[in-house]
Structure 1
């Protein structure tokens, strides 16, 4: 405990770090206050007891409850995330975007500009869909088409403002701004879910002992998720010795850390998008609502749904790892810098060796990721409330663990730069530092 307070004191002593933490908290406070501001022309009282389930519940969690409150930040940063993913995929499929990725800072600035333009278009389309699906006629105080136009403009402006807040946090705060905004939105749902589960257990079935068992299980799942996020396979790389003047360069052994889960949370997001197709088909085709397969696939707790969900996650993990990690580029960069893997010839042999290692570690990584993704369904089946079960795994837990590790890693870096002790007695905190990928490819913010 004494070391903990000493570390807090050291953090406060570093002026730059202190200012960055305060700025981050202020920007996040602005975001949370804005999430309670209801859209103009909407009767906020009609959303008081609205429950968000399924895809809506997932979006509502990422938006910190703004989605179900019809807030000006209802769409959150999800349109920006979608635009970032599209631009990242275009960088692999379209030569123009591939060229921009290789142009350094100027290319990244152009890609960021394209991402912002695409965010505006995606937000406008999602805003129209939000108005039609979530805001009923009884909640509208203004008649159409003025209401739809006004709400679309406000929701688009709200998303752009949240995106600006995220960029300011990254620039003047600590950690990745967009990731922190998503994390705060998820954490905002935790106290309510915790209280609801505690009340249901103490006043209903299970009792306090069952609730304690659930908390212990949650801690175990978090520890397991940390192992997956931080797990790496190190490949030794030897650099040739060079003498320049009176100084020696190279001649040392370093390591390439290949992530066990290089794809991060993206496979779960892609798989979830496909798993919502059966429910969408039922909504647009009422005659198909009685189909047994569609009913089973629409039930997130059924074994059919979770089996297909797990298989899709494994496939998407391989797919996303293949398009984001480029062994050929890694081998070329290593050769240009005079590096080689002991016992492996430079060039194609090195690329094949790295590709083989990635293929071997991706399989257990994808399986573990699928297990984490279906744990919430297992928790629901054993009696955990659906709201609290979401924190037992899936997208939300992986994002929480990754963002917290990244932020703590940055704080520890500031401490070590000023010759203070780190946050841990042994070793250093490892965040989600991306493995070497295709040249110019920037990792997705989450």
Structure 2
């Protein structure tokens, strides 16, 4: 990875992209440090210390600590991610949106992106208002009249819109996927805080040295495991038939169709975590009385509850298959192979080939979903068994997202380096 960054830095065009990306990340971190007015930050920080290990604490990790400081970027990328989930599901369910993407090409994609942005701002407004209600109900705001509340909610919403704009600028002029890069920056910024939490637990006797060392070893093992699985793939052999054109013979070569074990990357984790944060958002908007039915339902969605872990893993499986279905179309692949004279040894062209690819894709996707579930679910189980490790346990999902985004960004840099260093056939 460091060799790739070093090589990219020596290419002037890529150097500009890297500097631009770093500049946007710097602006993002500055915005994540500017608090919204009229809020008691000291009491808010104390309140979030008591919320560590909950779904609200997980949302705070994704925002880079912005929620606990009530900054202008406190909503982070969550509204945009939720909007993307909704639009992608609607694209599959609504034929008009599907035709817009398939038939109109780039123009249709621009329209979908615009709809996603508008929906993201609307969800940012809703989430900002719910957060304001939470602050008001816990007496964390000095002035609770309409105008003060209007300024607070509007600031949160404007921060959401600005984050979406910054993410799009990184995707357009920088390196990597902009929204993923900002999410990466927010999570990495919480790394020192998580490390200091573990050190304080050891110092205070809340966690033994053995458990602390085991936690670090597990974190390193997760990183190695993520890198290994991210490069793993199932290769389906493909043979091209020989054909004679004039006096020359074409075809006859062998190749393969690669199906990555974790083709969807970290997106199922991000989407599942965003959906599981919705109950916490609703809870912030309501005054829930302890001991009632509503309190019982909301407690089911705490990260230490077995129900939360089961639903979380089920969503990871669902989004893994959803992304695999979007990225691979076995019927289209089989038709292209047939047109080009290719076939999979042992299977007839056409329907048998598409059926075989579908079965292989289903098995590989299942393994990828199990991998994501283990990496994201095991730390939550550890946090549920040992309450003192709640905050550290949230690092499992964070590590997966950080490593996944880093690998994807490095791959993009490598592809751009290869494109610029390709010598061609004439040299």
Q: TM over 0.5, yes or no?
A: yes
Aligned residues: 413
Q: CA deviation at 1:245?
A: 9.6
1:368 aligns with 2:371: yes
1:62 corresponds in structure 2 to: 62
- Which is worse superposed, 195-204 or 82-91? 195-204
Find out whether 1:32 has 2:29 as its counterpart.
Answer: yes
Q: Give distance in 1, aligned partners of 2:163 and 2:370.
A: 34
In the alignment, is residue 184 of structure 1 matched against residue 188 of structure 2?
no
Contact kept in structure 2, 1:202 and 1:208, CA below 8 Å: no
C-alpha distance after superposition, 1:48-104 (max 9, x if no partner): 323144221121111111122111111111111111111111111111111112132
Q: Does 1:385 align with 2:394?
A: no
Deviations 1:402-426 (CA, angstroms, capped at 9, x unpaired): 1010111223334444549xxxxxx
- Structure 1 position 349 matched with structure 2 position 346: no
Counterparts in 2 of 1:213-228, with a 5 A limit?
213-228=214-229
**2:155 matched residue in structure 1:** 154
CA contact (8 A) 1:263 1:321 kept: yes
For 1:244 and 1:159, the matched residues in 2 are separated by: 60
Distance 1:97 1:305, change over 3 A: closer
The 8 Å contact of residues 61 and 189 in structure 1, kept in 2 or not, is answered as: yes
Aligned twin of 1:261: 262
Structure 1 counterpart SS, 2:215: helix
Secondary structure of the residue aligned to 2:346 is coil
Q: Secondary structure at the match of 2:128?
A: helix
| Contact 1:268-1:373 at 8 Å conserved across structures | yes
Summarize the alignment of residues 256-335 of structure 1 with structure 2, pairs less than 5 Å apart: 256-268=257-269, 273=275, 283=288, 286-288=291-293, 297-298=300-301, 300-301=303-304, 306-307=309-310, 309-311=312-314, 313-314=316-317, 317-318=320-321, 321-322=324-325, 325-335=328-338
1:78 aligns with 2:75: no
Which of 301-310 and 75-84 deviates more? 301-310
Query: Cα RMSD between the aligned structures?
Result: 3.4
Q: TM-score, normalised by structure 1?
A: 0.80
CA contact (8 A) 1:174 1:411 kept: yes
The answer as to whether partners of 2:288 and 2:295 remain within 8 angstroms in 1 is: no
Q: Contact 2:263/2:324 (CA < 8 Å) preserved in 1?
A: yes
Contact 2:206/2:388, CA 8 A, preserved across alignment: no
Structure-2 separation of matches of 1:246 and 1:169: 52
Q: 8 Å contact 1:296–1:305 — kept in the other structure?
A: no
Distance in 1 between the 2:92 and 2:191 partners? 37
Match of 1:432 in 2: none
1:402 aligns with 404
Partner of 2:415: 413
Question: Unpaired runs of 5+ in structure 2?
Answer: 423-427
In structure 1, the partner of 2:425 is none
1:98 alignment partner, SS class: helix
Q: Which runs of 4+ in 1 moved over 6 A?
A: 242-249
Does the 8 Å contact 1:232/1:258 carry over to 2?
A: yes
Superposition TM-score, scaled by structure 2 size = 0.83
Partners of 1:92 and 1:323 within 8 A in 2: no
Query: Is the CA contact 1:276–1:298 (under 8 Å) kept in the aligned structure 2?
Result: no
